[in-house]
Amino acid sequence: MTKNVNGGMTVAIDGPAAAGKGTVAKAVAAHFGFAHLDTGLLYRAVAAKTLKGMDAEEAAQTLAPVDLEDPSLRNPDVAQEASKVAVIPAVRAALVRFQRSFAARAGGAVLDGRDIGTVICPDAPVKLFITASPEVRAQRRFAELSGKGIEITYETVLDDVKQRDMRDMSRDQAPLKPADDAKQIDTTEMAIEDAVAAAVALVEAKLADRG
């Protein structure tokens, strides 16, 4: 499991799509020199394969690092499909070991996703749950996709966000929810720099505790 027997620091960051968890995770990792894993990419990479006709469980079991570099993983159709394959217990099970060994890196690790604080790293010393209203998240995702030249309307993005939230929160296994001991940060009206500063302060306090 992720008990930090190696002395490393594991930071677990969860939350719904486009709440800012990726930005916070990257900034915290850069600040402390920790490795960062965007676990959504694992589900997206499985999804990209199932969209090409592969069986989801097989796709999860045979996932290779190069599969995470496919630029199409950021597309909205892949995101929707990722949320669908993420419901399948065998897919989740196939991805657990990789995530836990990443979390146990000696130099420290930040993982962001939906079930990091609850299932993947229940012993992580720092847990964050980052949220924002669906409308603000859709606005951010819409700006990001439009900026990449992807043609999509705000309404479609909002619909996508709500559908994914619903599926991610209501599945039986590892549903999206804050761990009991997670610090919640709502970025609806907060500048992302402030969310980063709050996260950095939490990690610093935990490192200081350890002496």
Nearest distance from residue 129's CB to ligand DC, in Å? 13
Q: Which whole-number Å values give the CA distances from 70 to 19, 48, 146, 207, in the listed order?
A: 23, 9, 19, 35
Distances (CA, A) of 26 to 29, 36, 176, 207: 5, 7, 20, 18
Q: For ligand DC, which is the closer residue by CB, 135 or 204? A: 135
- Report whether 211 belongs to an annotated binding site: no
Q: Is 149 annotated as a binding residue?
A: no
Tell me whether residue 27 is annotated as binding: no
- Give the residue carrying structure tokens 């995530």: 99
Cβ at position 209, least distance to ligand DC in Å: 27
The owner of tokens 């796709």 is: 59
Q: Which is nearer to ligand DC, 174 or 196 (CB)?
A: 174
How far is 123 from 3, CA to CA, in rounded Å? 6
Q: Write the single-letter amino acid at 161.
A: V
| Residue 18 labeled ligand binder | yes
Q: Cβ-count burial of 201 within 10 angstroms (0-12 exposed, 13-18 middle, 19+ buried)? A: exposed
* Cβ 39 to ligand DC shortest distance, Å: 4
Based on DSSP, count helices (H) and strands (E) in the chain, helices before strands. Answer: 8, 5
Which residue lies nearer to ligand DC by CB, 162 or 211?
162
Annotated binding-site residue? 127: no
CB nearer to ligand DC: pick between 84 and 105: 84
15 annotated as belonging to a binding site for a ligand:
yes
- Residue 171 main-chain phi, psi, to 5 deg: -70, 155
Cβ 113 to ligand DC, closest distance in Å? 2
Nearer to ligand DC, 52 or 210 (CB): 52
CB of 33 to ligand DC, least distance (A): 23
In angstroms, the CA 50 to CA 69 distance is 16
Q: Applying CB under 6 A, which residues contact ligand DC? A: 17, 39-40, 43-44, 79, 82-83, 86, 113-116, 164, 168
Binding residues for ATP: 15-23
Binding residues: 15-23
